[in-house]
Amino acid sequence: MAFHEKEVPADASAAVKLMAWVDSRLPVTDAFKRHMSEYYAPKNLNFFYIFGALAIVVLAIQIITGIFLVMNYKPDAAKAFESVEYIMREVPWGWLIRYMHSTGASMFFVVVYMHMFRGLIYGSYRKPRELIWIFGCAIFLCLMGEAFFGYLLPWGQMSYWGAQVIVNLFSAIPLIGPDLSLWLRGDYVVGDATLNRFFAFHVIAIPLVLIGLVAAHILALHEVGSNNPDGVEIKENLDANGHPVDGIPFHPYYSVHDVMYLGGFLMVFACIVFFAPEMGGYFLEANNFIPANPFVTPTHIAPVWYFTPFYSMLRATTTNFLLPLWIFLAIILGMFARSSSDKKVKGACAAIAVVLAAGFYFFDAKFWGVVIMGGSVVIMFFLPWLDKSPVKSIRYRPQFHKYIYGVFIVSFVILGYLGIEPPSPVFEKISQICTIYYLGFFLAMPFWSKLGTFKPVPTRVTFESH
């Protein structure tokens, strides 16, 4: 293909000529038009749609502050804690960079949880956005890995013992578990080799994957278009120019809109950084200001708040919980078998129930706790195929669907709270009930999501100017 220099008027300014020269070799202007000024988004997007943009900003904050932290951090078991103290006390503005990074980690999960919540209630995972949702869930998994590996780096008491507990969980996996745990640690105990491995994962490996997934997530979104609170596909109603009649250009309308909310978010972010960086121990635990000591175990080991819902499910899976859990799963399998007329499906459901019964008998509760903790995240990947509702948005679903979603959110928050608290018999029962509900929300979704009387979905988005 022949190269064509982009033509510009002879009297054009130097800036215009430079941009034309660049565009002839790299389509910067075309990319801006495709993804910003000529990307049409629904005109009825509400508050819940700002969190995707906020997540990108927080990712940028984490990368920038992380680069400055790495300049003075030493991934050495004998010097890691002291290097963090050096950053906090001696490096000019080091305390600010460290607190921005630690606060950013928690705020990242705040905006991501809100972003996922919006996708859940408005059906943003439904056709044709399945791949967007899958990329989003993969980003969430990467974030969890990034946060876990970064949590060890300060080499404080909670960092050390938290890593010890989580890495040891992998040993519960049959056959490969012990070798996997040994590989993650790099030694038979959490030590210098573990710190170096976690540092490599946190600084290089996972960020590269994360950036690639974010790019794929955005490209997939701009290919099929944004969802909206009504769940109406705006590309089905076009004007004479081929533009959606219910859409507006992302730039400048939503870019300015997001910048306004970004200002408010940054004010909250700054208040936390300057006045409450520890957030009462939820963002930075007191035990993590004590150097790691392999010979002194903290009285209560708990992960950071954004891991606690899944940690609660792990702790809830005790030996006496396996029988109720099997009964619950058998009921779900029975519902699948009853809803299908295919004998092969019925046989498969019966076989799975038998295999689960044998698994509960031969494998201990620790193994099943790891399975449930991991499965509680992995199951979200299948949400586009579990939801059988004829409508996308919660606005047009039956009233009892809203209660199901509400109880699900409450259960998730309760699990998060219980994961921070020391274990007790009462808390154990509550967490088991919430775990059953969490799993049932997804596993029973093919049945309850299509029940009830659904409201008619409008052909155009509902919008009131403001």
Q: Which residues are annotated as a binding site?
A: 101, 115, 202, 217, 222
Lookup: tokens for 346:
């019925």
| Maximum Cα interatomic distance, the chain, rounded to a whole number of Å | 82
Please report which helix (H) or strand (E) contains residue 249, including its range: strand 247-249
With CA atoms as reference, report the closest residue to 171 among 370, 11, 440.
370
With CA atoms as reference, report the closest residue to 312 among 408, 424, 404, 442.
424
With CA atoms as reference, report the closest residue to 42 among 220, 235, 223.
235
Residue 27: Cβ within 10 Å count: 13
Secondary structure tally for the chain: helices H, strands E = 19, 2
Alpha helices in 186-317 (DSSP H): 192-200, 206-224, 255-275, 308-316
Residues 6+ away with beta carbon under 8 Å from 43: 246, 247, 248, 461, 463
Q: How far is CA 131 from CA 72, 166, 230, in A?
A: 39, 30, 20
Which DSSP letter does residue 254 get?
Answer: I
Lookup: tokens for 334:
């029975």
- CA pair distance 379, 352, nearest whole angstrom: 17
Residue 276: Cβ within 10 Å count: 13
Q: Write out 3-67 in H/E/C secondary structure.
A: CCCCCCCCCCCHHHHHHHHHHHHCCHHHHHHHHHHCCEEECCCCHHHHHHHHHHHHHHHHHHHHH
- CA pair distance 32, 36, nearest whole angstrom: 5
Q: How far is CA 452 from CA 163, 396, 399, 418, 445, in A?
A: 46, 11, 9, 33, 13
Q: Which residues are annotated as a binding site for a ubiquinone?
A: 222
Lookup: tokens for 451:
């029940």
Are 397 and 452 in contact by the 8 Å Cβ rule? The answer is: yes
Residues 6+ away with beta carbon under 8 Å from 135: 213, 216, 217, 220
Q: Which residues are annotated as a binding site for heme b?
A: 101, 115, 202, 217
Residue 378: Cβ within 10 Å count: 11
